[in-house]
Amino acid sequence: MAMLQAKHPGESEYLQAVQEVLESIEEIYNQHPEFEKAKIVERMVEPDRIFTFRVTWVDDRGEVQSNLGYRVQFNSAIGPYKGGLRFHRAVTPSMLKFLGFEQTFKNALTTLPMGGAKGGSDFDPVGKSDAEIMRFCQAFMLELWRCIGPDQDIPAGDVGVGGREIGFLNGMYQKLAREYHTGVLTGKGATWGGSILRPEATGFGALYFTQHLLHKAGKDIKDKKVVISGFGNVAWGAVKKAMQLGAKVVAISGPDGVCVVPDGMTAEMNDYMLDMRASNRNMVEDMAVKFPGKAQFIAGKKAWSVPCDIALPCAFQNELSEDDAKELKANGCWCCCEVSNMGCQPGAIHFFQNNGILFAPGKAVNAGGVATSGLEMTQNAAHLSWTAQEVDDRLHQIMQSIHEQCVKFGTRADGSVDYVKGANIAGFMKVATAMLEQGII
């Protein structure tokens, strides 16, 4: 860590992600001198390569705009680079390096052959028109297309990149590459190579994982009160599945505040989340305006201030602090499954773990998204598409297997499970073994 800090000063998210993994694997790493000899850790913590490029486009007023674009190809030991694209004003190389690093372990956990990558831009979608989004995506792909390919690197969505953006990106890729296969991006529309259930997959997978975790702890999700941060694609799928499983979603939140829904969200409210995302307004208050009497907006408050059993962070890294964790506990919360990538700050995770609150990390909980991207790649390669039932069954199996891997590597002497340790060791062992077996490259 000291070496990395000296080499990459100020890259706080990246250093935080690496620190968490190294702490978890220390013991097992020291039992494997062959890893040490091949300098596996030193090699694994640095990305294979990073592409950085300028993206220039023209806004609706005719003004020239310039952004930075990136693709971080982190690790390809177990398969082609795979991971999403994030469009957000705060995107930096540090953020994408942390995400690419996490993705490498997450993808290893899915049991599918996918390496880790992440990309994106500091382009801010908030307040942009559809035409501006399209022009930006086209300009972004003008640079990115040389770096990717169905057997090299397969991007997908992440924060700020959903089905609409993947459509614009794919259209431009085909135009530039003059290749009309369907395998270079995942999260495509259902009529042009996309997998059924991909939009729902991250949220659905997270709830399947939560079910297994609760089951192991002798509990059940039915009738439990759930609070969720965010109202993007991931939160949307999580709300949908939580409702299907009989839980009551009593709050969703956004950057402007929280919407409290005392009687639980309805299917209509869940559908409206899609309009909220498509509007690019980034305001959760819109839910309370649309459903007066059912949802109550409180400005400046987080979802963590609402009494609940289960908390599901579904928005952004470090969105849940130690103080939030204490507030959750005081409000009766006894389980937190992290759905966003690194959604909880280290202090929050330690507080949960030291206070008997069930906790599982994003790289295990949210892996259903990229796993279903892997299933989309399989369908594309075979030139066919599976039914919703087939995709859902496989997603469920994968989430069960991820839970089993966490239990295998994370069970403590008292029989409880350290899901952070379990997920990190399981992912690490797979990537480290693959690197070792393929020599010093």
The answer to whether residue 118 is catalytic is yes
Q: What is the dihedral of CA 309, 405, 115, 231, to 10 degrees?
A: -10
Asked whether position 156 contacts ligand GLU by CB under 6 A, the answer is yes
- Amino acid, single-letter form, for residue 55: V
What is the C-alpha separation between 104 and 97, in angstroms, rounded? 11
Residue 129 Cα to chain centre, angstroms: 25
Q: How far is the CB of 249 from ligand GLU (least distance, A)?
A: 22
Nearer to ligand GLU, 206 or 417 (CB): 206
Phi-psi region of 255 (alpha: psi -120 to 50; beta: other; left: phi over 0): alpha
Contact 337, 209 (CB under 8 A): yes
Question: Pattern 186-205, binding to ligand GLU, x per CB under 6 A?
Answer: x-------------------
Asked whether position 399 contacts ligand GLU by CB under 6 A, the answer is no
Stretch that binds ligand GLU, among 11-19, 72-80, 369-377, 427-435 (CB under 6 A): 369-377
Using CB under 6 A as the binding criterion, the count of chain residues that bind ligand GLU stands at 13
Selected from 83, 125, 167, 422, the binder of ligand GLU by CB under 6 A is 83
Asked whether position 82 contacts ligand GLU by CB under 6 A, the answer is yes
Place of tokens 């507080």: 351
Residue 174 Cα to chain centre, angstroms: 26
Q: How far is the CB of 153 from ligand GLU (least distance, A)?
A: 10
Question: Pattern 94-113, binding to ligand GLU, x per CB under 6 A?
Answer: ---------x--x-------
Asked whether position 221 contacts ligand GLU by CB under 6 A, the answer is no
Question: Pattern 267-286, binding to ligand GLU, x per CB under 6 A?
Answer: --------------------
Selected from 47, 79, 80, 84, the binder of ligand GLU by CB under 6 A is 84
Phi and psi (nearest 5°) for 84?
-80, 180
212: tokens are: 């297994």
What is the C-alpha separation between 417 and 337, in angstroms, rounded? 13
Q: Which of 221, 198, 197 is nearest to 209 (CA)?
A: 221
Asked whether position 341 contacts ligand GLU by CB under 6 A, the answer is yes
Q: How far is the CB of 422 from ligand GLU (least distance, A)?
A: 18
Three-class secondary structure of residue 379 per DSSP? helix
Q: How far is the CB of 316 from ligand GLU (least distance, A)?
A: 12
Tell me the Cα Rg of the chain.
21
Asked whether position 340 contacts ligand GLU by CB under 6 A, the answer is no
Residue 195 Cα to chain centre, angstroms: 18
Asked whether position 370 contacts ligand GLU by CB under 6 A, the answer is yes
251: tokens are: 């709050």
- Name the residue whose CB lies closest to ligand GLU: 84
Question: Could you give the angle at which helices 367-382 and 93-109 cross, rounded to 10 degrees?
Answer: 70
Catalytic one among 106, 118, 188, 363?
118
Binding site for ligand GLU (CB under 6 A): 82-84, 103, 106, 156, 158, 186, 341, 366, 369-370, 373
Annotated catalytic residues are 118
